[in-house]
Amino acid sequence: MLEIAIGIILSGCALGAGIAMLAGIGPGIGEGQAVASACEAIGRQPESQSAVTTTMIMGCALAETTGLYALVIAILLIFLAPGRFVNILLEAVKK
């Protein structure tokens, strides 16, 4: 019975890490659209290249933080959380 509980903990952590990494899709799509819009804006008004490029880079950097946070959460769920949850389970079983 304990092995089943540990398996559920491990599968839950893996599933949570996979769901967390779905957050990486949003920044990829958003950054692609931002670059496409910036290229279109520069094509229409080449003299505004520096302003458009600066704004685009700042926006892409902010969007990328979402993906990085998701990556950190996924790494924690894969490497740190299973051990902690199993220890909590074992302590509960001892009582």
The whole-number pLDDT of residue 44 equals 93
| Higher pLDDT, residue 28 or 78 | 78
The whole-number pLDDT of residue 26 equals 84
Own/partner contacts of 27-31, CB < 8 Å, gap of 24 or more, are: 27/63, 27/64, 27/66, 27/67, 28/67, 30/63, 31/60, 31/63, 31/64
Answer whether 51's CB lies under 8 Å from 94's CB. no
The whole-number pLDDT of residue 23 equals 85
State the DSSP code for 80. Answer: T
pLDDT of 10 above 90: yes
The pLDDT tens digits for 16-51 are: 999 999 888 888 888 889 999 999 999 999 999 999
Predicted TM-score (pTM) of this structure: 0.74
